[in-house]
Amino acid sequence: MRHPRMGAGYTIRSPSWPFLPDRTSMTRQPQSADIEELPLGRTSKSLPEQVADRLMQSIQTGVLQPGERLKEETLSDRFAVSRTTVREAISTLERRGVIERVPRFGARVREIRADEIEEIFCIRAQLLGLAARRVAEHGDDEILAQLRQQVERLRQLADKPSTSPASYAKVSIETQQLLIQAVGWKQLGTMYEGLSNQMLWKTSVRGKSLSFQSQQRRRESVGDWQRLLEAVCTRDAAAAEESAKLLLGASYRAVRGQLAS
């Protein structure tokens, strides 16, 4: 079905998720004038870089919405800089993949597509599954102890109704990083972090903690982590790999549900 808020190019489909086991434009249109007006000062960064940072902050906080047009003249007046400076700032964000130029329309905040979200989750699931398998096969007692501590932190956070989605997401990400780094493969870490820190992904999905918006969802996530921990500690490599894929598969479905609501 067409996503009612993400524009005609955003389609939510029911994915087959062949690699993962299965357990069972926005309505608000803020204007550029809404961007917080702060003086640009002397820093180690150039003026275009400072403007790019301000625009990036506005995208991350939702002041600038996916699909929203960026008018050079308006931004030039807002930041009291030349249109050339604004143009360079927009080009910087275009290279980062968060802004796109559309013929006969101009620059706009890029929308992340449903298939991009599915693709990133699927690849990350394969990499995390590989890491879990390797840790189950070769992880030492110190790594297992650290993993137990992380899962216990997640359990405590999930048990508190006041826990914010961002707080839980932060520890979940740290636990994923622990598994990835425990393998000791540089390229594995580079690939996983590269996908996790892809700019549009960070602003549209990870930065908003879409996977953990409810306490029920956070408790489900803890259950996934506990199953993964048990598999690793019992040296069941196949179960560890499957549990890691299941964990990210559940996160994907939670994100898909948030975007479709």
The confidence score (pLDDT) of residue 172 equals: 97
The string of pLDDT tens digits covering residues 2-22 is 443 344 343 334 444 444 444
Annotate 148-164 with DSSP letters as a single string.
HHHHHHHHHHHH-TT--
The string of pLDDT tens digits covering residues 182-197 is 999 999 999 998 887 7
CATH fold for domain 114-260:
Four Helix Bundle (Hemerythrin (Met), subunit A) (1.20.120)
Band of residue 35 on the pLDDT scale cut at 50, 70, 90: low
Neighbours of 130 (CB within 10 A): 19
The full set of domain ranges for the chain reads 32-109, 114-260
pLDDT mean over 24-43: 47
The confidence score (pLDDT) of residue 42 equals: 56
Strand, helix or coil for residue 107: strand
Domain 114-260 in the same topology as domain 32-109: no
Listed in sequence order, the residues at least 6 apart from 56 whose beta carbon sits closer than 8 Å to its beta carbon are 93, 96, 98, 203
Q: How far apart are CA 46 and CA 134, in angstroms?
A: 45
The confidence score (pLDDT) of residue 192 equals: 94
Burial (Cβ within 10 Å: 0-12, 13-18, ≥19) of residue 210 = buried
CA-CA-CA-CA dihedral for 251, 173, 207, 98, to nearest 10: -90
- Does domain 32-109 fall under CATH 1.10.10.10? My reply is yes
Phi then psi for 174, rounded to 5 degrees? -60, -40
Question: Is pLDDT above 60 for 29?
Answer: no
Strand, helix or coil for residue 108: strand
Q: For residue 42, what are the CA distances in angstroms to 31, 39, 50, 54, 81?
A: 27, 10, 10, 15, 14
Band of residue 128 on the pLDDT scale cut at 50, 70, 90: very high
